[in-house]
Amino acid sequence: MSELPFSPRQVVEEIVSLVRVAAEEKGLVLLEDVADNIPVAISGDDGRVRQVLINLMGNAIKFTHQGHVSVRLIPHHQDPEALLFSVTDTGIGIAPEHVDQIFEHFTQADSSITRRYGGTGLGLAISHRLVELMGGRIWVESRLGQGSTFFFTLPSRPVELPPPLVAPLEQANEATTKTLRILVAEDSPDNELRLFASLADAKTWLD
Ligand code: ADP
């Protein structure tokens, strides 16, 4: 788990642009709300935060047939030293008897959902573990047939972003002309999103 300065706003924006096509293909409205008063940069592991967000956003899109999926980032109202992320959807929701186990390994709400939507039942278990390792908490509030909101908190340790490296003009021009084209052949939209998340992670290195 790395401890490096990153912009939480940028991470949210990246994930939203990553899942936009998947949401639009389903006719869903994708909304994003990042509060003005969150720190410009915090110290942490942006790759792991991306992983959790892509999983929650991927699920929200997968389990919603109409309406909207929205992501929000605000300072935690009860804890000034934490940030609160939330992903809300107007999808199928989760029955009260399943909510408690949803973060356990290989748990899916029920077998008819597995048959219809596929998946592994691992995404939320991994997200749960990652959020705890980062010192936060994850939970869900849901109403069957109406939708769900997944919340997670992260400690907010404001730091300064390092100034961007300024390359000499020639190098910069050369860098902008290098375009990578990657063909993804994947029959599961779920896996496709996860792959894009890994590529977004790799992009940080390629840049
Ligand atoms: P997977 O999606 O691969 O089955 P997850 O661990 O990500 O595994 O999710 C576990 C289960 O939680 C899902 O199978 C589904 O039943 C339920 N679930 C997760 N997110 C949502 C959501 N946004 N709306 C309704 N049900 C959800």
- The C-alpha atoms of residue 32 and residue 38 are separated, in whole angstroms, by 14
167 DSSP 8-state letter: -
Crossing angle of helices 189-206 and 8-25, in 10° steps, is 150
Evaluate if residue 169 carries a pLDDT over 60. no
Higher pLDDT, 44 or 195: 44
120 lines ligand 1 (CB under 6 A): yes
Q: Cα separations (Å) of 154 from 19, 93, 130?
A: 22, 25, 11
138 lines ligand 1 (CB under 6 A): no
- For residue 109, how far is its CA from the centre of ligand 1 (angstroms)? 7
Binning pLDDT at 50, 70 and 90, where does residue 207 land? very low
Please say whether the beta carbons of 124 and 102 come within 8 A: yes
Evaluate if residue 202 carries a pLDDT over 60. no
Ligand 1 pocket mutation pick from 68, 116, 124 by most atoms within 8 angstroms of CB:
124
Paired strand residues for 150: 87, 140
Q: Supply the pLDDT for residue 46.
A: 95
Ligand 1: which residue has its CA nearest to atom 14? 108
- For residue 166, how far is its CA from the centre of ligand 1 (angstroms)? 43
89 lines ligand 1 (CB under 6 A): yes
pLDDT tens profile 129-168? 999 999 999 999 999 999 999 999 999 988 887 777 665 5
pLDDT tens profile 103-136? 987 666 666 766 667 666 789 999 999 999 999 9
Q: Supply the pLDDT for residue 139.
A: 97
- For residue 156, how far is its CA from the centre of ligand 1 (angstroms)? 27
Evaluate if residue 33 carries a pLDDT over 70. yes
Please say whether the beta carbons of 30 and 15 come within 8 A: no
